[in-house]
Amino acid sequence: MSGLIAASWLLGNGHSAPAVPPASLGQPDLPLPETPTPAVPSPPSGQPGRPTPGDTSLPEIPGTGVLRHGDSGHGVYELQVRLLQIPHAYPGGAIDGRFGTEVQQAVARFQERYGIRGDETGVYGDNTRHALMLRTK
């Protein structure tokens, strides 16, 4: 209540109230610090479709790029989920995020069954990804 009396007294004496609200109203006095961007780990370099040392391109989005035997991660997990939706392509296959022999064979079966060309047999490249995404959810 005393704040209202002081403000009233200041206004009544020809003084204006401060243009900046007091800090007690929850207004920060200093700009907020910027939130750092989380680091995205890069896949190993020197492999086809992988960044090389000194590469300044943006990191790949999970699930994009070429996936092949030996790869692992979220993109492989998504591939496995989609392969299970194709009848007889990946029967009883694991959903573990590892691109092993079973996944490679499932990708090859899918490519052959649907006539996918442009990617190596058993390699999940752009053409295979597009065809699989059109047929799955």
Residue 72 near residue 98 (C-beta atoms within 8 A): yes
Taking the C-alpha atoms of residue 98 and residue 88, their distance in angstroms, rounded to an integer, is 19
Taking the C-alpha atoms of residue 105 and residue 89, their distance in angstroms, rounded to an integer, is 8
The pLDDT averaged over each successive group of 10 residues in the chain (137 residues) is 52 52 50 49 46 48 77 95 96 95 98 96 96 94
For 13, the token pair is 């004496």
Within 8 A by CB and 6+ apart from 49, the residues are: 65, 66
